[in-house]
Amino acid sequence: MGMVGGGPGAFIGNVHRMAAALDGQIELVCGAFSSDPEKSREAGKSLYLDENRVYGSFEEMILKEKSLPEAVRMDFVSIVTPNHLHFAPAKLAMENGFDVVCDKPICFSLDEAQDLVKIVNETGRLFCLTHNYTGYPMVRQAKAMVKAGELGKIRKIIVEYPQGWLSTFLEGSGQKQAGWRTDPEKSGKAGCIGDIGTHAENLAEFISGLEIEELAADLTTFVDGRKLDDDGSVLLRFKGGAKGVLMASQISIGDENNLRIRIYGEKAGLEWSQLEPNTLIVKHGNKPNELYRAGSNHAYLYPESISATRIPAGHPEGYLEAFANLYKEFALASQLRNEGKPFDVSFPTAKDGLRGMKFIDAVVSSSSQNASWVRM
Amino acid sequence: MGMVGGGPGAFIGNVHRMAAALDGQIELVCGAFSSDPEKSREAGKSLYLDENRVYGSFEEMILKEKSLPEAVRMDFVSIVTPNHLHFAPAKLAMENGFDVVCDKPICFSLDEAQDLVKIVNETGRLFCLTHNYTGYPMVRQAKAMVKAGELGKIRKIIVEYPQGWLSTFLEGSGQKQAGWRTDPEKSGKAGCIGDIGTHAENLAEFISGLEIEELAADLTTFVDGRKLDDDGSVLLRFKGGAKGVLMASQISIGDENNLRIRIYGEKAGLEWSQLEPNTLIVKHGNKPNELYRAGSNHAYLYPESISATRIPAGHPEGYLEAFANLYKEFALASQLRNEGKPFDVSFPTAKDGLRGMKFIDAVVSSSSQNASWVRM
Amino acid sequence: MGMVGGGPGAFIGNVHRMAAALDGQIELVCGAFSSDPEKSREAGKSLYLDENRVYGSFEEMILKEKSLPEAVRMDFVSIVTPNHLHFAPAKLAMENGFDVVCDKPICFSLDEAQDLVKIVNETGRLFCLTHNYTGYPMVRQAKAMVKAGELGKIRKIIVEYPQGWLSTFLEGSGQKQAGWRTDPEKSGKAGCIGDIGTHAENLAEFISGLEIEELAADLTTFVDGRKLDDDGSVLLRFKGGAKGVLMASQISIGDENNLRIRIYGEKAGLEWSQLEPNTLIVKHGNKPNELYRAGSNHAYLYPESISATRIPAGHPEGYLEAFANLYKEFALASQLRNEGKPFDVSFPTAKDGLRGMKFIDAVVSSSSQNASWVRM
Amino acid sequence: MGMVGGGPGAFIGNVHRMAAALDGQIELVCGAFSSDPEKSREAGKSLYLDENRVYGSFEEMILKEKSLPEAVRMDFVSIVTPNHLHFAPAKLAMENGFDVVCDKPICFSLDEAQDLVKIVNETGRLFCLTHNYTGYPMVRQAKAMVKAGELGKIRKIIVEYPQGWLSTFLEGSGQKQAGWRTDPEKSGKAGCIGDIGTHAENLAEFISGLEIEELAADLTTFVDGRKLDDDGSVLLRFKGGAKGVLMASQISIGDENNLRIRIYGEKAGLEWSQLEPNTLIVKHGNKPNELYRAGSNHAYLYPESISATRIPAGHPEGYLEAFANLYKEFALASQLRNEGKPFDVSFPTAKDGLRGMKFIDAVVSSSSQNASWVRM
């Protein structure tokens, strides 16, 4: 693969590289790691790349790689830049025949997202949006249980993503991660709700298979001087009658990434927490609740869950393994597609990205109208 | 004390009796346990009461007890009937000089609640509303920490009370508890939001010391045939700028009484869960989160918490002990008042009951206007 | 009931009184609360007792009460003194026709225990030893599950009781609880292993229904100046082939009363922790582990568990409720016996007390022989 | 690196490959994956290896690789065969100038282990024994806290490793993992105590910095037909006076890899559980216990812990990441050594392997003498 972004000091670029490397199926062969060619070179060197394949810009990378023999050139492009720099390389890559892995949210604005979906459809390229939490084995188990009807009709979904790291004016300190995430020029029209609210929205729709129909949102910026929201609470109504609540916050002091989802159906309920990702609590009305555990050896799990684990139960798999599942599935789909064989798309795609941008738009719009209901 | 309600098959009557008995300070001396005099007698007998002091109605009880010598007659009245039967005995008791302990919500309607507060003020009687969760030692600790400024300015409050016991049409089976709680003639205009939503509302205001200013609510009745809401999600805005979310549900299948509250301030946060009531998680931004534990021997706890425990840490105290704290504090206040001494009112009162009725009104009103904001 | 011991500053006396009072079936009518008559009077006054029934010694209490009319005199004696003062009042009470509730361990020495069992047998009196942890609903559930064969043949039992409160030389500070518990004149030949090790031993035998056959123990006194052991680790072999480990410690700094037991059989396993007593984890080989929860409404529980709860699931019951179960069951058995009716003995008795003293003897003997195996 | 073992169906071989790949610093370049050359070839192909560097035996691999130019040949050998096949390739590799990573336990017998330590010393090669649990960030934190004196003098260590997967006669079903682990020809003289007991022993010594001086062990084989122990309980005495208990079991039905360690010192205590590896509970005597959490952004952690994490707190790292830490540290040490620079040995070495073999020997010896004390 070839990488766009992910130079020195980047958090998510390294995550993508580790995730891609884990299963020994994907090799990083080139990159345009920074808009500063010197920094890009430096990154490439530390990654043991051929210096001829460390590029000064994504345009250069895509066009030069395209000209290389098929056996040599990168198979796909991985985009790990801030939000405002997703669209251009994704477009160029697909238009030049490359599949794309892209960090979330899909891009800067709803317009861009709609364009991207169009380009995906026109070029026939594969597009994987790294809503990485969908890669956890117990999230897959939850999705499969809902799909199989084990919960009955879904009634209520509560999804929350509290973080505490932006409880203070961290962006004022020059911290890079805080900087771009709170900057409307780079993040888009939403802060917290775009950065992590979209994860929560995606997870709720991914597991439940239901679409949010309308929502009422109350966004707040608690920290003085901050330019975007750092907290949001959203009432949800799903197609088909389920109700829900979504909470995302970056001022929940003392919380890390406490992403948690609870789904209640007529027959059973589910609860999953990202901080202990290998357990899924299955709730019942007339018998004891159960602790489902991730593990390749647990015959009671659905194949969709087992195939997302690498090792037997009791060896905790975490964030990187979940992330790696998306890369593994994407690479497999890409290979099968290239071989003309049928393939599964078990990973989030540009359509999910478009949902995310619609979510951001609807939330911001609702909040600006004092939490009126807005269709998504 | 004398009891109104709490005859055979009642759940909460027995809870009140155990709570009152626990500390050996309060004796049940009389009662009007049922509107059916035979059932009342039966209850009295099983409670070893003098048969002359088992009454056929609360009117009879209050008036006859009043005529007894002071050393003999009941000290106060405990009202444990369904909601629609709170007002009349409370009024009569106070007008005849008796202090009152009353189960929640305070009464059937906002009008009644306003009248009751007036009567309390006019008669000078003590009125304890058994929002029993306020009696837990770690709830007291939480309140004291907020009050002392340990959290800094409060930003966000999330309070939730999911239950699963009404996931099916239980009231159709003749189950008594389900019957009156889902009956608008007995419960009032709200179901779930009145029965347990008021607990959540009360707990949030009790700990934070903040008042809800306005709210936007989405109520649902998920179970076919049910006459009142069985689920509600509410956006909250507190006076002073804090935001919040309140969730109450009786269709959260597999959940028991998972009352949980999280409060985030500028400096620290708190998390408490009723199912493990002896632990309070204290959250920090730049040092490890801490596990505060209830216990009379923990010098790091505030006196308000220590005085609400009976035994050293490691001996779990639960629901009944918390409930008993309200009785103990009420009895002490009553005694001190009678002796003309200064006394503390650390228990919820009629004012809290009025807040609860305003909450119910505002929620129902908001929900009927498609979750518009309603002032409380 | 009449109480021996439990005067000012006593921890366990107040626990017994609250436990006895909780269900409204038992009334404290007299007591000899202290060897100091003045302190005894003071205690009696604070408990609202008739001053004529506050006695200066247990001998006086037992003999005077015996002379009162049956309808008036105490029904039974509750003994809550330090270990060395159990035997004499228990003996005198039973020889004068009174049933006895006695705190654990049953007495000061194995000889005394053997005598007491003889006296119980000769007098036909009921004797309840308050190994209170046996009163928890989920301990009852665990025992019933083992008995019903749900675990299959038991293989392994791990029981542990770590505390941290004696991590320092607390007895040097004059703290009363620490004082007598570390004093061989009052506690007997063992410290930690007598005080809490016997609880662990009792719990293991109570739930499993198995008897310890032999053991190898390593006792330690970690704190300088302490006269008795403050830590012990014991290998266990049960009759029938099960193996086990018992750990008791009072220098486990930061632990409260972390009594925990795990039992593994051929078909299933169990785990219960006193700090979260309302949950029982049931472990399986080929399906998810389950969370059994205490509650009068959980139809999946055995009657032995349900009858030990007062309220539906979700209202945590704790230490005092478990303690109260023993009193309730004892009082019921006593009443039925008096009425000539059949009765159950679901509470620990003098035989269990004798087992405890044998356990102490065997542990101390084994440890003094460098952890050689000693039959119990 | 070149791999010995790890062919089709092997569990641990794949784990080593993922761990080595994760950080992008180590490339698998050759292997002798099976004693069956056909299977070795097949494995090599699926791993995208040059077919000329897929060897039929470890001897062939080591000798041929040695003859390749330095820039091309493997840097080190990774040995992932069953226990009885560790010694020969490790010896040959080191004698031919290659550093070695080796799975645990270090070899088949104490004699072999002593020879290996000699060879390490004579050849000056680096030898990393993959006691992978030492790679967890919070294990590193625990070790650093002990070393810094935060716990004071250590008094008590409890380490346990219960598993349930061998509760039945799984080896009779042809399951490969169960087969060799219960076969004395392949595992050596111990079953459970060698396979996982050594992990527990290593973890206790690694964190505490203390050496076990003597032990008393009771081993059992619970499952009919099994040739080696499947359960063991061991009393420990450490040099310097600390006491301990070690439990390892493979018949703890329903448990996964519930490796857990608790260490109590005079000033503070620690508790860590492998199933939730990102949390370390720090216990105190006079203030609340604390939840230390892994994360590159937690300034309160020691550098030894932070350097063992890849991502900020809240992104769970697990088993593979911990395993990868050993590879990363080993590779770095190897590189620095090659460059003539100073380097740290933060990973377990052959000396730890020798300790493990001594532990196995002592446990088996003690158990065969009815749990007599045996010096280790």
User: SS3 string of chain A?
Assistant: CEEECCCCCCCHHHHHHHHHHCCCCCCCCEEECCCCHHHHHHHHHHCCCCHHHECCCHHHHHHHHHHCCCCCCCCEEEECCCHHHCHHHHHHHHHCCCEEEECCCCCCCHHHHHHHHHHHHHHCCCEEECCHHHHCHHHHHHHHHHHCCCCCCEEEEEEEEECCCCCCCHHHHCCHHHHHHCCHHHHCCCCHHHHHHHHHHHHHHHHHCCCEEEEEEEEECCCCCCCCCCEEEEEEEECCCCEEEEEEECCCCCCCCCCEEEEEECCEEEEEECCCCCEEEEEECCCCEEEEECCCCCCCCCHHHHCCCCCCCCCCCCHHHHHHHHHHHHHHHHHHHHCCCCCCCCCCCHHHHHHHHHHHHHHHHHHHCCCCCEEC
CB contact under 8 A, C167 and D285: yes
Residues of A within 8 A of C292 (CB-CB) are 288
B158 touches chain A (CB under 8 A): yes
Residues of C within 8 A of B295 (CB-CB) are 256
A165 touches chain D (CB under 8 A): yes
Q: Are B363 and B193 in contact (CB under 8 A)?
A: yes
C218 touches chain D (CB under 8 A): yes
CA distances in angstroms from A354 to A23, A103, A361, B341, listed in the order given: 29, 13, 11, 68
Task: Say if residue D46's pLDDT is above 80.
Answer: yes
Of B291, B293, B300, the CB nearest to D291: B291
Please report the pLDDT score of residue B176 as a whole number.
Answer: 86
Confidence of residue C17 (pLDDT cuts 50, 70, 90): very high
Per-residue pLDDT tens over the stretch D335-376: 999 999 999 999 999 999 999 999 999 999 999 999 999 999
Poorest-confidence range of C82-86, D149-153, D200-204?
A: C82-86
Neighbours of chain C (3+ CB pairs under 8 A): A, B, D
Mutation site, D28, D163, D181, D256, interface A, largest A CB count within 10 A: D256
Mutation site, D264, D367, D374, interface C, largest C CB count within 10 A: D264
Beta bridge partners of A262: A158, A271
Shortest CA distance from C163: residue in chain D: D285
Task: Say if residue C177's pLDDT is above 90.
Answer: no
A299 touches chain D (CB under 8 A): no
CA distances in angstroms from B285 to A156, A280, C301, listed in the order given: 32, 28, 43
Neighbours of chain D (3+ CB pairs under 8 A): A, B, C
CA distance linking residue C30 with residue C44, whole number of Å = 8
Confidence of residue C162 (pLDDT cuts 50, 70, 90): very high
CB contact under 8 A, B18 and C310: yes
Of B216, B235, B254, the CB nearest to A269: B254
Work out the average pLDDT over C193-208: 97
Please report the pLDDT score of residue C9 as a whole number.
Answer: 73
D289 touches chain C (CB under 8 A): yes
Please report the pLDDT score of residue C8 as a whole number.
Answer: 76
How many CB pairs lie under 8 A apart between chains B and C?
108
CB contact under 8 A, A289 and C291: yes
B246 touches chain A (CB under 8 A): no
Please report the pLDDT score of residue C176 as a whole number.
Answer: 86
Per-residue pLDDT tens over the stretch A100-113: 999 999 999 999 99
Q: Are A226 and A191 in contact (CB under 8 A)?
A: yes
Shortest CA distance from B279: residue in chain D: D288
Shortest CA distance from B299: residue in chain D: D286
CA distance D38 to chain C (A): 35
Per-residue pLDDT tens over the stretch C42-76: 999 999 999 999 999 999 999 999 999 999 999 99
Q: Which residues in chain A come in under a pLDDT of 70? A: none
CB contact under 8 A, A311 and D48: no
Q: Are C157 and C261 in contact (CB under 8 A)?
A: yes
Please report the pLDDT score of residue A333 as a whole number.
Answer: 97
C300 touches chain A (CB under 8 A): yes
Averaged pLDDT of chain D: 96
Residues of A within 8 A of D310 (CB-CB) are 14-15, 18, 320
Confidence of residue D91 (pLDDT cuts 50, 70, 90): very high
CB contact under 8 A, A256 and D295: yes
Per-residue pLDDT tens over the stretch D54-70: 999 999 999 999 999 99
CA distance linking residue A244 with residue B251, whole number of Å = 13
Mutation site, C146, C150, C151, C155, interface D, largest D CB count within 10 A: C155
Please report the pLDDT score of residue C257 as a whole number.
Answer: 96
Task: Say if residue C216's pLDDT is above 90.
Answer: yes
CB contact under 8 A, A316 and D315: no
C229 touches chain B (CB under 8 A): no
Please report, rounded to a whole number, the percentage of residues in chain D having pLDDT higher than 90. Answer: 95
CB contact under 8 A, D318 and A314: no
Work out the average pLDDT over C332-349: 96
Mark residue B183 as left, alpha or beta (left: phi above 0; alpha: psi -120 to 50; beta: remaining): beta
Q: Are D131 and D348 in contact (CB under 8 A)?
A: yes
A284 touches chain B (CB under 8 A): yes
Please report the pLDDT score of residue A10 as a whole number.
Answer: 74
CA distance B300 to chain D (A): 6
Work out the average pLDDT over C121-148: 98
Residues of D within 8 A of A161 (CB-CB) are none
CA distance linking residue A267 with residue A155, whole number of Å = 10
Please report the pLDDT score of residue D11 as a whole number.
Answer: 83
Of C233, C244, C253, the CB nearest to D269: C253
C290 touches chain A (CB under 8 A): yes
CA distance C213 to chain A (A): 34
CB contact under 8 A, C288 and A299: no
Tell me the CA end-to-end span of chain A in Å, nearest whole number: 35
Of A22, A256, A317, the CB nearest to D313: A256
The strand pair at C289-293 and C279-284 is best described as: antiparallel
Beta bridge partners of A127: A100
Mutation site, B224, B238, B253, interface A, largest A CB count within 10 A: B253
- Find where tokens 């979330």 sit: A104
Of B167, B218, B245, the CB nearest to A243: B218
Of D286, D288, D293, the CB nearest to B292: D288
Cβ atoms within 10 Å of B118's Cβ, excluding its own: 13
CA distance linking residue A229 with residue A183, whole number of Å = 11
Mutation site, B270, B284, B287, B301, interface D, largest D CB count within 10 A: B287
C31 touches chain B (CB under 8 A): no
Q: Which residues in chain B come in under a pLDDT of 70? A: none
User: Which is nearest to B366 in space by CA: B193, B250, B226?
Assistant: B193
| Model ipTM value | 0.95
- Angle of helix D137-147 versus helix D198-208 axis, rounded to 10: 50
Residues of A within 8 A of B166 (CB-CB) are none
The DSSP 8-state label assigned to residue C212 in this structure reads E
Residues of C within 8 A of B311 (CB-CB) are 11, 15, 319-320
Q: Are D115 and D123 in contact (CB under 8 A)?
A: no
Burial C28-44 (b: 16+ CB within 10 A, else e): bbbbbbbeeeeebbbbb
